[in-house]
Structure 1
Amino acid sequence: MADDFETEIDTDVEADEAEDTVAASEMGASARTLRGRIDTQRIVAFGVLPAMTVGLAVGAGLLLWKYVAQDAVDTARVESVAAARDATVAILSYRADTVEADLTAARDRITGAFLDSYTDLVDRTVIPGARAKGISTEARVPAAASVSAEADHAVVLVFVDQTITMEGSAPSSTASSLRVTLDKVGERWLVSGFDPV
């Protein structure tokens, strides 16, 4: 009986040890599963979410920058076409009796090398010819369109109808088109090129 009792105790001890091993094994697996969940949560919380937040912020910033840049180009397009229309009329219109004042006022709409060549042409040829022959011109711009535009530089195609009157003669009309190049100087669009097309 003592042997049976010892066998029973040995069996109970072995069973308890086996249960402890299984319990420890299950606790280890449970602890590993819990640790795995915590590691995954940490990766998501400290890695994926911040990366997504930064990505969204960068994307939103790029979209805003593109919108602002496009808005500046759209504004430049509208403003440069209006400036080209007004400048073309001012540059090509004058009356014989006020030619010097008319063309001097037009210089205020011009910049760069074109200002120098325009001033030279007006002073040497146009003003003396208009006074001597009683020449007056009236320009009208029926249409104008933007060819290209940036925030500070633009090219505009301008269609011009011009009526020329000489003292003692019937008026004559011509139609032409011009490629007007403009640069933004300060807050104003000024003509830097004026080429027939």
Structure 2
Amino acid sequence: MRFSSVLLGGEPKKTETVDNSTAEETPLAVVKEEKGDAVDVAEATTEVDLSIRRYRLWPLRWSVGWPTVIAYAVLPGVVLLLALTVGFAKWQAISTGEAHRSGVEATEAATEATIALLSYQPDTVESDLDAARSRLTGTFLDSYTELTQEVVIPGAKQKQISAVATVPGAALVSVTGSHAVVLLFVNQTVIVGQDAPTDTASRVRVALDKVDDRWLISEFEPV
């Protein structure tokens, strides 16, 4: 066998001719392929680097953007809310102060007017009750005028009737800028001629309307 003979040195060794063209082309192909692989690797590396840079820049962009959003959107809203809150608090304080002042004025007006309405002397009854009429308004003014002119004034003159009223207690029921309701506790002492004084106590619900900066009685109802 040829293989045995060569191994034992039986046949002369043949020299194989190498195709130079194949030998030369193979390294070039390998080099080109290696270069191509190197280019692909470089491009892939570049894409990865760009992706990493984009990923790193993304939070940076947002970190720069959020303060701007806060400065131009959130903070003005907070400032506006604070301004509205302060404004409302001031308005509420002013409204509360005005309501308190109106309540005090209405209560004083109701007290003074009631004393004037129910107090008179037989010798000055006309002037006394005419002065009281200036504290009234609306339909109650008309009713009071009719009652005093037809009943109270003639009776006081004829029978020598005198009356003195006091208001030991008053309570504000409600008040607005133009209307108020006050509950009064009224004591009245009446003397007819030479008779002994007669004392009466009553509660009166008084409604007042504000007319030309004055609190005037518009209703007067015993309760």
Relative to the length of structure 1, the TM-score reads 0.89
Tell me which amino acid in the other structure corresponds to 1:179.
R
Do residues 62 (structure 1) and 65 (structure 2) align?
no
Distance 2:44 2:190 in 1: 115
CA apart distance, 1:7: 7.4
Report what 2:74 is aligned to: 48
Tell me which amino acid in the other structure corresponds to 2:177.
A
Report what 1:172 is aligned to: 198
Distance 1:10 1:44 in 2: 51
Distance 1:57 1:4 in 2: 78
Do residues 134 (structure 1) and 160 (structure 2) align?
yes
Do residues 194 (structure 1) and 220 (structure 2) align?
yes
Report what 1:143 is aligned to: 169
Distance 1:179 1:38 in 2: 69
Instruction: After superposition, give the CA deviation of every residue in 1:35-64 in whole Å (9 maximum; x if it has no partner).
Output: 222332232222222222222222222222
Distance 1:186 1:37 in 2: 64
Do residues 157 (structure 1) and 169 (structure 2) align?
no
**Which has the larger displacement, 168-177 or 119-128?**
168-177
**Which has the larger displacement, 66-75 or 92-101?**
66-75
Do residues 99 (structure 1) and 150 (structure 2) align?
no
Tell me which amino acid in the other structure corresponds to 2:119.
S
Q: Secondary structure at the match of 2:123?
A: helix
Task: Structure 2: give runs of 5+ residues left out of the alignment.
Answer: 1-26
**Which has the larger displacement, 4-13 or 174-183?**
4-13
Distance 1:62 1:186 in 2: 29
Q: Secondary structure at the match of 1:192?
A: strand
CA apart distance, 1:2: 7.7
Report what 1:29 is aligned to: 55
Report what 1:73 is aligned to: 99
CA apart distance, 1:129: 0.6
Instruction: After superposition, give the CA deviation of every residue in 1:65-113 in whole Å (9 maximum; x if it has no partner).
Output: 2222222221121111111111110010001100001001111111111
CA apart distance, 1:13: 4.7
- Measured on the aligned residues, the alpha-carbon RMSD in Å equals 2.1
Distance 1:44 1:8 in 2: 54
For 1:14-25, list aligned pairs within 5 A: 14=40, 16-25=42-51
Misfit runs of 4+, over 3 Å: 1-19
Relative to the length of structure 2, the TM-score reads 0.79
Distance 1:195 1:35 in 2: 77
CA apart distance, 1:114: 0.6
CA apart distance, 1:8: 7.3
Instruction: After superposition, give the CA deviation of every residue in 1:131-176 in whole Å (9 maximum; x if it has no partner).
Output: 1111110001111111111121111111111111122212111111
Structure of greater Rg: 2
Structure having greater relative contact order (Cα 8 Å, sep ≥ 6): 1
CA apart distance, 1:191: 0.5
Percent identity of the aligned residues?
44
Aligned to 1:110, which of 127, 131, 136?
136
Aligned residue pair count: 197
**Which has the larger displacement, 16-25 or 98-107?**
16-25
